[in-house]
Structure 1
């Protein structure tokens, strides 16, 4: 996929030409930060042959005519421009243009028609879509970053053209190539360094690398030593003007205006001639048969050229290593030989050109002009040969010669990837919350916090868990509930930490709360449902099912603070028999309470785990509440065979607004192994199924689907290296038992991370860990006996039961106010907390 880079307070248009009766198959994936995205079509116009547009003086104020105004400059605009307009300083229409015009103004004044507005695309999500094209035309894929005041964005983008009648049969062959189907592959390029005027006033010109694609009539630019696309213009449908005296070239697409400057007169003339060639070329479109014949040929060529690019990069890294460089050269010759067989003979002369940035995209301008002058040009009408003195002097200049032509103008550029997007209505509220220092629980202390570098790796486990069958035989006739399991049956975290893995994918909730996701589409509740079941993925490695977490002591706690996710979580074991764990999680936008009470039943060689308790997610801005319960799961092959777990019952997520989502897990056959596939359907309050659905595997990924678009909304997190020897932990799980700067010296002495037996066990000293575990459990029995003798019962420190007759029924509410967990943590108020070890 191609990498696009969009400035803050700016937008980028990626132009794609589509022939008659085809399908545009596209993919977009924002990196790290979200961005707005929409697809437009350039309006159809009927150009008059060989007509030349001339600029006219702006009409008087109040004068009404049919000309189009762009950024305040009125002039006639049509696609009938078939030559580059030569202008002088006196009639330069761009002198009066405002460079600070808004994105919406540019859209209003453009010749574009909105096809589909996808609003904000979420960072990290791969969005895949298709739409039919009946009549050929230019399509604008617009990436809008104008809402971000400080942060530039990077986006992966690709597009493919598939025949409408042969889409199914061709899709497999197209998928073999990861490159864009519209990438030039036959050297139809003019490229060199030009000076481009910066967006802001008084910043002057900066050097940029420009590539003109003659076949598709697009001009793209990049930083000189970077291959990330910074912008693109459709030359055929833009107004191009040139000033010979100042060597400036103005290109106006109706959406934006580029002010370029050639480094010398010869290059200026070459670029003007190239633009004229595109303007005057025939508008005839190749036949569909020819288009797809070339497409098939281009797929293989593109793959070979991609390999050639990697070889070029490898050669640059070998340096003075002569044998390696010689080997790379030998392989490059073989690749070029294959390319010569793929490309027709009349095109071979173009494939010996040395790549500057990418062998399939960039060729030296002078070498291309040499080819043009000899008549080997894949255009509808030939370009008149240039004079030899022009070709001889059109070389890519060195940095020194460029600097001499800059006349002291600024060459620096700035773009911060680390700055957050600044939206006008949110910062004041956030700052006020952060500055509040009282004990009213209005803040998210200790958030916000500086980024923390977390180490997730853990030591390799060199022992194996004991056989369940051998353990049962050894204790025949005994009450198994009173017998402590050997420590080797455990993994080095507690149940409190295990349940905290629910929040590994908390970003799914934030993603679901985008304003553009309406209830009627079902996208919001489907994303919430994806979060509700995402915790199942922690058991995707079957090694994870060989052991169980440590059983927390009564009153044991665990906190989770993730400044990178903007959440804080507190949990406590509030009941020992039956075991009940209380959780309360908060973020700026939502809070979540959950009181899981797991119960395990043996059924021969399998065990069924049923978790009582309802998770309740509350959206702070609207008060909407989502509720669900964890599905029952089966742990299979307990006695013998490979152990694994899988969901065994459907799962329903309900909204207080009346909407609901139902998760159906596929049922596997007797010998089919673990069932992993699932589908999620959404229903409105009238029980009518909505158009959007989600499908995928709980062990891999989930994709949200509509009639025309697919969004990869969730993927499993990374596993630890050599995870089969590290309890099957994910990278997130590996951080749960470590203490970082945000917790150091702040935790109560009841926190699971401070348990001595777990740390000893994690380090591999099984015998010592066994002794410590037995000692802790014995002390717990003594505390329970003391309470029983005094007629008292255990009172949790941070949660209180507000409903229900038994500990595993009703709801456990988080205690707020001065004695809340986070206020006590702020002041180090742990003196009255019972010591557990």
Structure 2
């Protein structure tokens, strides 16, 4: 895929010309940061005064005077924009005094005469969006990447496209105008190349910077490009003109990331030979360019004219009275350029003022002749994307190979400023300040509230934090777990509730840490909140539903189903602070029988709370696993609440065979506004192995099915789909190297056992990471881990008996129960705020009254 760069307060356009009955197959993937994306169609412009074109050709002293209209476009007087795009226009010095600046992207879209096809609004970072646009009638389309909302941060995007032509092609061609070519025909391309090669041959190679690839489709060289900000001058950039597709693209020197593209055949191009300056105006943006020397200038201008003319039927050219430089003497224009260079050389060396004046007059006459033959008009066509498969910009740009030169090959005419930082606002894109748009301060701007800095419940303390290192400390494990069947046989006739399970049947995390794994993909929530679902397509709640099922992927490696987590002691806690995800989590075992584990998670824009009570039922070779309790996601800005329950899972092949877990049935995610999403897990056959596929449908408050849906596998990825668009909204996370020998852990799961610089000397003494048996287990000291585990469990029994004797109930420290039913596994366990809350205690090191668990 091609890499695009879009600067802050800026936008970038990719253009495509599509023939009749075709499909544009495109892909977009923003990297690290989101970007706005939309597709527009260029309105068809019919030239009603086609027969009068020649009178507007700039061919010497009788050339019409040029003016600038409100769209920043150079135009002949009283003519619409379409009449000035068919050739390179000659500009006067007055142009530089009257050139105006546009203010917004919206105004440029209006001036660019575009019709909106589809506005995708914000594309989420690192999500691959794939779409297909069916085109029945030929036209030109603009793919617009808008970063004007970002004041300081530039964006990178991966983009690719291809045109798929249907079997049946329409032969419709308007009779009121010449036929437009989607691309240059082979004959036209050969003709353009022949002219261009001849121009290059008559020039001294040392006097030109033009490069030509072997395939003959590209013209490449360094040009100077004016920076966006005033008084910053010009900077060297590498330009590539695709002759076949009529697109001009530019890059930094020695860099393959595309920074801009213009459709030459539908742009107004104006040239000033004295300044060696070329102005390219697409109606959406303006590039102010300068050639490094006169030879380069002549070649670029002549090639622009040739491309514009070649997109026009030759027979119609002659019928309408166009002057073809090939028909009036072969290389006449080339010879005139050579003569004019010699005249200019004589002018520079001549010491006689009268001689210099005569040579200057002669040079002016020669320039008029050049203008007569060179600045011819031809009807404008449009560029088209490559029909190749998806490509990388390092290899191909619009169908041709790019040979990026070394900057040292060019004379350093202008001192180039260091603008290597994409995030810098000091960039070179000549958008003429048209994208300086203030960020919205209405719907998406959160109201800043005054908070008590000492109350850590009202902020995310200790966040924000610098990134910390989280190395892998999970050892490779060669010891198989004790056979469940052998364990049962060994304890026949005994009360299994009073028997401790062997430690080697555990994995090195507790249930509290296991539940924290549900937060591995919490960025799905953040992404959902970025969606502005104007048409109520269901995208927002579907993304929430994707988060709800993403936690299932933690057991996708079947090795993960061989062992169970450590059972926390009553009063045991676990905290998780992830500076990279912007969340903090606190959980506590609040009840032993039935076991209940309360969790509260906070982020900048949302909170998540749940108090789950796991249970198992054995059915011979299969175990049914349930987690009683609701998960409640609350959106801070709107108060909207989403609720759901964990799906039922089946653990299969307990006694013999490969163990695996699969979700069954359905789960429903409900919004307090009435919308809901229903997840259906595919049913597996008796001999089909694990069932992994799922689908998610969204419904509004009236039970009407919404347009978007989600499909995929809970073990791999989930894709948001409509009839024409697909968004890859979730992919499962990275596994540890050699994961089968490391308990089947993901990288995220392995990081839950670490005590990083964030937790060092800050953890509550009841935190799972401080369990002595678990620490011994991580060192593969099975004997010590077994002994310590038995002691901890026996101490817990002693504390429970003492409480029963004293008539006391265990009182959780960081959660309290809410609900009419007093049963601990019903109602809701709510995080306790105030002076003795967990995060306030943590900030103050106030752990004196905690249970001494080990």
Q: Same fold (TM over 0.5)?
A: yes
- 1:242-321 paired onto structure 2 within 5 Å: 242-283=271-312
Cα-to-partner distance string for 1:689-740 (whole Å, 9 max, x where unaligned): 1221111111111111112211111110111111111111111101101011
Cα-to-partner distance string for 1:286-307 (whole Å, 9 max, x where unaligned): xxxxxxxxx9x9759x99xx8x
Task: State the 1:832 CA deviation.
Answer: 1.0
Equivalence for 2:82: 79
Which of 124, 127, 138 is matched with 1:125 structurally?
127
Which of 227, 241, 244 is matched with 1:215 structurally?
244
Q: Residue 387 of structure 2 contacts residue 399 of structure 2 at CA under 8 Å; is this kept in 1?
A: no
Q: Report the Cα distance in structure 2 between the residues aligned to 1:434 and 1:275, rounded to whole angstroms.
A: 60
- 1:826 and 2:843 equivalent? yes
Equivalence for 1:36: 36
Task: State the 1:440 CA deviation.
Answer: 6.7
- Relative to structure 1, the CA distance from residue 298 to residue 150 in structure 2 (aligned partners, 3 Å threshold; closer, same or farther) is closer
- Relative to structure 1, the CA distance from residue 145 to residue 362 in structure 2 (aligned partners, 3 Å threshold; closer, same or farther) is same
Task: State the 1:210 CA deviation.
Answer: 0.5
Equivalence for 2:646: 630
- 1:402 and 2:406 equivalent? no
- 1:135 and 2:144 equivalent? no
Equivalence for 2:545: 529
- 1:557 and 2:586 equivalent? no
- Relative to structure 1, the CA distance from residue 564 to residue 543 in structure 2 (aligned partners, 3 Å threshold; closer, same or farther) is same
Equivalence for 2:749: 733
- Relative to structure 1, the CA distance from residue 166 to residue 740 in structure 2 (aligned partners, 3 Å threshold; closer, same or farther) is farther
- 1:238 and 2:240 equivalent? no
- 1:91 and 2:100 equivalent? no
Which of 148, 162, 165 is matched with 1:163 structurally?
165
Q: Residue 206 of structure 1 contacts residue 412 of structure 1 at CA under 8 Å; is this kept in 2?
A: no
- 1:103 and 2:132 equivalent? no
Equivalence for 2:217: 188
Number of residue equivalences: 720
**2:637 aligned counterpart, secondary structure:** coil
Which of 395, 400, 412 is matched with 1:361 structurally?
400
Which of 586, 589, 596 is matched with 1:580 structurally?
596
Q: Residue 650 of structure 1 contacts residue 664 of structure 1 at CA under 8 Å; is this kept in 2?
A: yes
Equivalence for 2:725: 709
Equivalence for 1:603: 619
Task: State the 1:399 CA deviation.
Answer: 2.5
Bigger shift: 632-641 or 192-201?
192-201
Highest RCO, 1 vs 2 (Cα 8 Å, sep ≥ 6): 2
- Relative to structure 1, the CA distance from residue 620 to residue 766 in structure 2 (aligned partners, 3 Å threshold; closer, same or farther) is same
Q: Report the Cα distance in structure 2 between the residues aligned to 1:431 and 1:522, rounded to whole angstroms.
A: 26
Cα-to-partner distance string for 1:497-525 (whole Å, 9 max, x where unaligned): 00001111111111111251247211111
- Relative to structure 1, the CA distance from residue 105 to residue 519 in structure 2 (aligned partners, 3 Å threshold; closer, same or farther) is closer
**1:776 aligned counterpart, secondary structure:** helix
Cα-to-partner distance string for 1:580-614 (whole Å, 9 max, x where unaligned): 00011111111111011000111001000011001
Q: Residue 700 of structure 1 contacts residue 715 of structure 1 at CA under 8 Å; is this kept in 2?
A: yes
Could you tell me the TM-score, scaled by structure 2's length? 0.80
Cα RMSD of the aligned pairs, angstroms, is 3.0
Task: State the 1:413 CA deviation.
Answer: 4.3
Which of 488, 494, 497 is matched with 1:478 structurally?
494
Q: Residue 573 of structure 1 contacts residue 580 of structure 1 at CA under 8 Å; is this kept in 2?
A: yes
Structure 1 unaligned residues grouped into runs of 5+: 60-66, 168-183, 286-294, 311-354, 366-395
Equivalence for 1:347: none
- Relative to structure 1, the CA distance from residue 89 to residue 418 in structure 2 (aligned partners, 3 Å threshold; closer, same or farther) is closer
Equivalence for 2:460: 444
Which of 140, 145, 148 is matched with 1:146 structurally?
148
Equivalence for 1:202: 231
- Relative to structure 1, the CA distance from residue 662 to residue 401 in structure 2 (aligned partners, 3 Å threshold; closer, same or farther) is closer
- Relative to structure 1, the CA distance from residue 17 to residue 359 in structure 2 (aligned partners, 3 Å threshold; closer, same or farther) is closer
Equivalence for 1:389: none
Equivalence for 2:331: none
Bigger shift: 805-814 or 456-465?
456-465
Task: State the 1:412 CA deviation.
Answer: 3.3
Equivalence for 1:412: 419
Q: Residue 452 of structure 1 contacts residue 741 of structure 1 at CA under 8 Å; is this kept in 2?
A: yes
Q: Residue 164 of structure 2 contacts residue 387 of structure 2 at CA under 8 Å; is this kept in 1?
A: no
- Relative to structure 1, the CA distance from residue 274 to residue 732 in structure 2 (aligned partners, 3 Å threshold; closer, same or farther) is same
Q: Residue 456 of structure 1 contacts residue 733 of structure 1 at CA under 8 Å; is this kept in 2?
A: no
**1:826 aligned counterpart, secondary structure:** helix
Q: Report the Cα distance in structure 2 between the residues aligned to 1:702 and 1:221, rounded to whole angstroms.
A: 36
- 1:116 and 2:132 equivalent? no
Q: Residue 71 of structure 1 contacts residue 105 of structure 1 at CA under 8 Å; is this kept in 2?
A: no
Structure 2 unaligned residues grouped into runs of 5+: 59-63, 170-212, 315-383, 427-436
**1:89 aligned counterpart, secondary structure:** coil
Task: State the 1:438 CA deviation.
Answer: 2.8
Q: Report the Cα distance in structure 1 between the residues aligned to 2:544 and 2:475, rounded to whole angstroms.
A: 35
**2:632 aligned counterpart, secondary structure:** strand
- Relative to structure 1, the CA distance from residue 818 to residue 423 in structure 2 (aligned partners, 3 Å threshold; closer, same or farther) is farther
Cα-to-partner distance string for 1:418-470 (whole Å, 9 max, x where unaligned): 99x99554999889669741327221111112222322452111211111111
Could you tell me the TM-score, scaled by structure 1's length? 0.81
Q: Residue 236 of structure 2 contacts residue 416 of structure 2 at CA under 8 Å; is this kept in 1?
A: no
**2:519 aligned counterpart, secondary structure:** helix
Q: Report the Cα distance in structure 2 between the residues aligned to 1:359 and 1:760, rounded to whole angstroms.
A: 60
Q: Report the Cα distance in structure 2 between the residues aligned to 1:428 and 1:129, rounded to whole angstroms.
A: 27
- Relative to structure 1, the CA distance from residue 70 to residue 762 in structure 2 (aligned partners, 3 Å threshold; closer, same or farther) is same
- Relative to structure 1, the CA distance from residue 611 to residue 617 in structure 2 (aligned partners, 3 Å threshold; closer, same or farther) is same
Q: Report the Cα distance in structure 1 between the residues aligned to 2:515 and 2:40, rounded to whole angstroms.
A: 46
Equivalence for 1:372: none
- Bigger CA radius of gyration: 2
Q: Report the Cα distance in structure 2 between the residues aligned to 1:200 and 1:640, rounded to whole angstroms.
A: 72
Cα-to-partner distance string for 1:666-696 (whole Å, 9 max, x where unaligned): 1111000000011111111222212211111
Q: Residue 632 of structure 2 contacts residue 644 of structure 2 at CA under 8 Å; is this kept in 1?
A: yes
